[in-house]
Structure 1
């Protein structure tokens, strides 16, 4: 049965009248809590960025201070060497000249506290003169790195060598040297200034860099001259493959980066700088963990306060949402009960109008629809058609196959009849027993005959076995009636009587026929004249 239906009440509950504040309240509470957490998270990240940024500026300033100190220290020593080289190359190395130079060197070392000593070596590495009050002449420094460098390089600039132990005092020293040339430009010796390592250590220890902070100074080749924290085993170590030298200095002579130390594995905020004029590189680094220690403590406190606030808001929101939920559930329960009642009533109404076996409309529904459509056709001067269907030899079918098979046969025929409805206004019903009926509003006789023939053919094409039918399968006979009822002249029962008469004609004509009847036909007319094949 196909007919238009209105939306059930439960669907209407999904509209504006069924709108609930519960999802909105839950969303609001969740949004507030998430917003607070997001703001807290953003503030935490922002504070971390600020802390790291300040630490980067601090390490950069520290590196600048260390670089300036190294530059000034080397510059003072190198200035002495420049004058000393010029004097030796000009005045020579006679005994009287060396005696004058000795007094000068002793005075210079006394004036510059960072200097450990000043030395002049001959071209073979022997000691010519130095700043020691008692001159030593039985030592030779031809094996030193700086001596070999100047002997093999004609460069007249300063050379900062790796840290070594002084042969005269045994202390760790940093060497700054320059080449001395003979009048013909050949190698004539080396002028050397040594800087006490403790001078740098004492200066670096003045800085507050935490327990895991680090400061180092290295020459241009990446040889470590000094590092805080001090470790004698690291002096002279080649760090040219460490990130500062390998990855960052080739890109920029000055910079700051977060680097994991290759010495002790500590991650530090490292500011590095190449010293201008002298082949030196300095670095000042602060431990990232120590820099962020105060930030972590503040984060814990802020998150604790923020967490308590969020929990408080969540608890209050939960109470409010729970009250709303209880109210919504109460209203929903009442609405559901109403909807269920309406659905039950609708189901009962539908069942009251439906045939239980075939699923088509029942006789009661058909009678009501017939009167309504007949009245409408009278008002609108429209045509009304009726198709009456009867299963051929159905009593024999029940006798042969049983009533259960008979019911199944009627269900199959009912499906054929139901599928044959073409318009929403058409009605297919079980009229009684093995009879079924079509009510076709607004349909004339040719249209009704076409529908009837379609049902007849579809029923036969089912191929339901029927040994009691000469054709061997179940067939139907169909009677059709159609006319335009006139007000006060025709009654609905006339349409049924005409269709029943046409059905009788179809039965009398040999069954499996479609016949029609109209009000103008004489009652004694031969039935075979009405056969439609």
Structure 2
């Protein structure tokens, strides 16, 4: 009888101990599952937020590059007009830019009637008149030179979906004179989005600030151009903040998703990255279901819990690595875009945009020190004859050689050399007076002559340059910084009129 009582006591004690231990472990596991859920949600929020920001930066880089291209082309069109010869020159410039932005589908200039003046790709599968396009109607009815990002359309060049980025052309009196437009292939954006792991039901979208859906991945034709301005994102969240995390049920497929959104400050485009709530919480939900079973099977609890915890951490680690890799790829692409945006592709010198920025900053810096500043404009003599007779590849090589000569001519770290446009180069020389500037201009002329580049269609028998020089006290240029460039340009024309292959000086 005593043994039976002892056995029962041991049984009850063991049972109670197992129950207590199981209860403690259950509470511990319940706490762990709750904590894991919060951590999973936090990591998901962080991951989609980082990805939406990275894609926003990528999109802004593409849009900036497109804006600079369309601004350059429209400015050239307004300056030189739409005559056939200038249209051919503009088309050549377009082709030089074609390789710099892989997303470009076409670049087109339309006249005031909507007819094509010139295009990067002249083969049209549809009608050549675009007076019916939304971007054309917008610019015809709205003055101003701001670029306009239009709704997606099917390209009349190749029949593919594109986004239009356009700019109004005007006559010298400000009247409407046509439209310059860059079209970006949507399939290029989809190719990038497709490389990012957002699950089977994940979605990446790009929307205008007015609620027009430009791109949605995965792609469906009926999604493109949809109006979503009445969605919670536009009605609720974007009215309070430009970026954040939200959860909602999609109107397109009725799937609940966690999504991050970011509105671009420059262009107003809204980037969203969304993951399915079911997919995102799948790992946590699986652990929660197992908890009910693991309460009764203590030994298996430890093994299974350890296994799923390891599995969960491995998945999260893999996801973080993939996201980090995608972020690095996008970061590298953005760095390359920055270089493209600041560098002249042919000569490797600073481009016109950097020259304009540096001119303002260097004048301001010299003005603070009450110092002089000089500007040189270097122009290749009889360059059109060179191009016409030796061909444009030879002309490009000639300009590249001249770029190297100009690079070697500057010595100070604060001296800037830039390709101003066509066969014109510019130098900004802070703290340099007229005597030094004239000496440098004469030196450049000698160096170019010494290079002895054959030019049988020039009276000099070789490639020569003319140099316009201007010097001014920086403090006198406040508010009229371009005046020193105009003075240097006037000096250049004096040198040209005096016979070329020489310099001339005009005070700024």
Note if contact 2:22-2:295 (Cα within 8 Å) is conserved in structure 1.
Answer: no
Q: CA deviation at 1:276?
A: 2.3
Matched, 1:156 2:127: no
Match of 1:104 in 2: 93
Paired with 2:284 and 2:29, the residues of 1 have a C-alpha distance of 13
Match of 1:88 in 2: 77
> How does 1:342-491 map onto structure 2 within 5 Å?
none
Q: Which runs of 5+ in 1 are unaligned?
A: 1-25, 313-533
Out of 284, 287, 303, which is 2:273 matched to?
Answer: 284
Cα 1:33–1:229 shift into 2, 3 Å:
same
Paired with 1:272 and 1:58, the residues of 2 have a C-alpha distance of 12
Cα 1:40–1:65 shift into 2, 3 Å:
same
Match of 1:336 in 2: none
> Aligned to 1:111, what secondary structure does the other structure show?
coil
Q: CA deviation at 1:309?
A: 3.8
Q: Deviations over 1:308-348 (max 9, x none)?
A: 34999xxxxxxxxxxxxxxxxxxxxxxxxxxxxxxxxxxxx
Paired with 1:181 and 1:136, the residues of 2 have a C-alpha distance of 28
Note if contact 1:271-1:283 (Cα within 8 Å) is conserved in structure 2.
Answer: yes
Paired with 1:101 and 1:127, the residues of 2 have a C-alpha distance of 13
> Aligned to 1:177, what secondary structure does the other structure show?
strand
> Aligned to 1:269, what secondary structure does the other structure show?
strand
Find the structure with the greater CA-based Rg: 1
Matched, 1:265 2:257: no
Cα 1:44–1:137 shift into 2, 3 Å:
closer
Q: Deviations over 1:346-376 (max 9, x none)?
A: xxxxxxxxxxxxxxxxxxxxxxxxxxxxxxx
Match of 1:55 in 2: 44
Match of 1:191 in 2: 180
Note if contact 2:169-2:180 (Cα within 8 Å) is conserved in structure 1.
Answer: yes
Matched, 1:115 2:138: no
Q: CA deviation at 1:37?
A: 3.8
> Aligned to 2:297, what secondary structure does the other structure show?
helix
Paired with 1:232 and 1:137, the residues of 2 have a C-alpha distance of 19
Note if contact 2:23-2:295 (Cα within 8 Å) is conserved in structure 1.
Answer: no
> How does 1:173-322 map onto structure 2 within 5 Å?
173-309=162-298
Matched, 1:68 2:51: no
Cα 1:135–1:262 shift into 2, 3 Å:
closer
Q: Deviations over 1:266-293 (max 9, x none)?
A: 1111000111211311100111111111
Match of 2:472 in 1: none
Q: CA deviation at 1:236?
A: 0.5
Cα 1:240–1:136 shift into 2, 3 Å:
closer
Q: CA deviation at 1:98?
A: 0.9
Cα 1:238–1:138 shift into 2, 3 Å:
closer
Cα 1:125–1:168 shift into 2, 3 Å:
same
Note if contact 1:218-1:226 (Cα within 8 Å) is conserved in structure 2.
Answer: yes
Match of 2:306 in 1: none
Q: Deviations over 1:380-399 (max 9, x none)?
A: xxxxxxxxxxxxxxxxxxxx
Note if contact 1:240-1:246 (Cα within 8 Å) is conserved in structure 2.
Answer: yes
Match of 2:312 in 1: none
Paired with 2:22 and 2:294, the residues of 1 have a C-alpha distance of 13
Q: Deviations over 1:400-453 (max 9, x none)?
A: xxxxxxxxxxxxxxxxxxxxxxxxxxxxxxxxxxxxxxxxxxxxxxxxxxxxxx
Note if contact 1:102-1:129 (Cα within 8 Å) is conserved in structure 2.
Answer: yes
Cα 1:158–1:66 shift into 2, 3 Å:
same
Match of 1:144 in 2: 133
Cα 1:38–1:105 shift into 2, 3 Å:
same
Cα 1:237–1:97 shift into 2, 3 Å:
same
Q: CA deviation at 1:302?
A: 4.2
Note if contact 1:122-1:188 (Cα within 8 Å) is conserved in structure 2.
Answer: yes
Paired with 2:37 and 2:125, the residues of 1 have a C-alpha distance of 59
Paired with 1:99 and 1:183, the residues of 2 have a C-alpha distance of 22
- TM-score, normalised on structure 1? 0.51
State the number of aligned residues. 289
Note if contact 1:106-1:133 (Cα within 8 Å) is conserved in structure 2.
Answer: no
Runs of 4 or more consecutive aligned structure 1 residues displaced over 6 Å after TM superposition: 26-33, 135-138
Match of 1:455 in 2: none
CA RMSD across the alignment = 2.8
> Aligned to 2:192, what secondary structure does the other structure show?
helix
Paired with 1:230 and 1:152, the residues of 2 have a C-alpha distance of 32
Cα 1:138–1:41 shift into 2, 3 Å:
closer
